[in-house]
Structure 1
Amino acid sequence: MTAEAPASQSHASEPPIEIIAFYLGEQQFCVRTTSIREIRGYAKSTPLPHAPPEVMGMMNLRGAVIPVINTARKLGLGRSEPTERSAIVVAELGGAIFGLMVDRVSDILSVATEVIQPVPEMNSGFDKSFVEGIIPQQGEMICFLNLERMFSETNKAEFF
């Protein structure tokens, strides 16, 4: 599936961006596939004492122990409880490997950069630092997350 730019903008020179889309509750989010190593079915993680609230615990990934993050909690959407449709999206940033628990993976898309809309300005203290943009897609809005900002060097120290 591909999100296309309007015909007047289809001559853009930038290559499309590959994304993986997933749901947290009823809202769809996505991240670039360049940071994603694999997608796994949900498996219970082992809790860690005194871990940050968004860290669900640790899991064994082929002999490597990695943290599993409750993505909804990390985004301030409240804690999401895993179901049979939940998945772990395994990501790697700067050599750090971690899992993102999502409610369900929906698609892998190729998106023209022209269709990515900026996040609207809001005066209510809304922190848009984790959001790269909004992608209108088949009547829905996909919130395009920036993993590098979500797990910057400052807050990576909390997890890794």
Structure 2
Amino acid sequence: MMQAANSNAEGADAGATSDFVTVFVGETMFGLAIDRVHDVFIPAGITPVPLSPPEIVGLLNLRGRVVTALCLRRRLGLPARTDDGRQMAIGLEQGGETFALIVDGVGEVLKLGAATHEPVPINLDARWRDLSLGVHRLDGRLLVILDVDALLAFGAPRRAAGAA
């Protein structure tokens, strides 16, 4: 299924391109700028943190560092997983802190050009719109590009729906 996205991406090599690590939450494919991704790993030993925001699933140890584990599914306002499939984590850095973004799955790296890029659709749910930089249409699939800075600003007040 990802092969079709690759063939489309290869056609975009004529101009400036950007590389994205693809991650999945359910059937939805998201992209994270590759320069923001430091690790891809299987999360283990997550310790819950009392009174933390619902997006925070806890803390984990990543090569001797204490890392905050953030659930992308919860961050996007999606229901909890119903299967027991293995989750993956993406290591992200922000402001000198390390975060583990918990996702349902990790795909491959896509090199995409401006030809497939579109602004954030106005009909995208407000929670997703505030966390997105745009979308890429890839052979019948939509890749939602996530704004890592906005994604990790879970402690900051969010804009109200409809606010400019």
Runs of 4+ in 1 over 6 A off after TM superposition: none
The answer as to whether partners of 1:55 and 1:69 remain within 8 angstroms in 2 is yes
The answer as to whether partners of 2:116 and 2:138 remain within 8 angstroms in 1 is no
TM superposition score normalised by structure 2 = 0.80
What residue in structure 2 maps to residue 85 of structure 1?
A: 86
What residue in structure 2 maps to residue 75 of structure 1?
A: 76
**Closer, same or farther: CA 99–111 of 1 in aligned 2, 3 Å:** same
1:151 deviation in Å?
A: 2.1
What residue in structure 1 maps to residue 126 of structure 2?
A: 126
Q: Partners of 1:85 and 1:19 in 2: how far apart?
A: 22
What residue in structure 2 maps to residue 66 of structure 1?
A: 67
Q: Partners of 1:58 and 1:153 in 2: how far apart?
A: 15
Alignment: residue pair count:
150
Q: Which runs of 5+ in 1 are unaligned?
A: none
Letter in 2 for 1:40: F
Give deviations 1:116-144, integer Å, cap 9, x for gaps: 1112223x972412111111113211111
What residue in structure 2 maps to residue 143 of structure 1?
A: 144
**Closer, same or farther: CA 34–125 of 1 in aligned 2, 3 Å:** closer
Letter in 1 for 2:43: Y
1:11 deviation in Å?
A: 5.1
The answer as to whether partners of 1:47 and 1:56 remain within 8 angstroms in 2 is yes
1:70 deviation in Å?
A: 0.8
Letter in 2 for 1:94: G
Give deviations 1:56-95, integer Å, cap 9, x for gaps: 1100011110110111101111334684431011111222
The reply on whether 1:43 has 2:44 as its aligned counterpart is: yes
Q: Which runs of 5+ in 2 are unaligned?
A: 1-5, 158-164
The answer as to whether partners of 1:82 and 1:103 remain within 8 angstroms in 2 is no
TM superposition score normalised by structure 1 = 0.82
Q: Partners of 2:45 and 2:139 in 1: how far apart?
A: 33
1:113 deviation in Å?
A: 2.7
**Closer, same or farther: CA 104–141 of 1 in aligned 2, 3 Å:** same
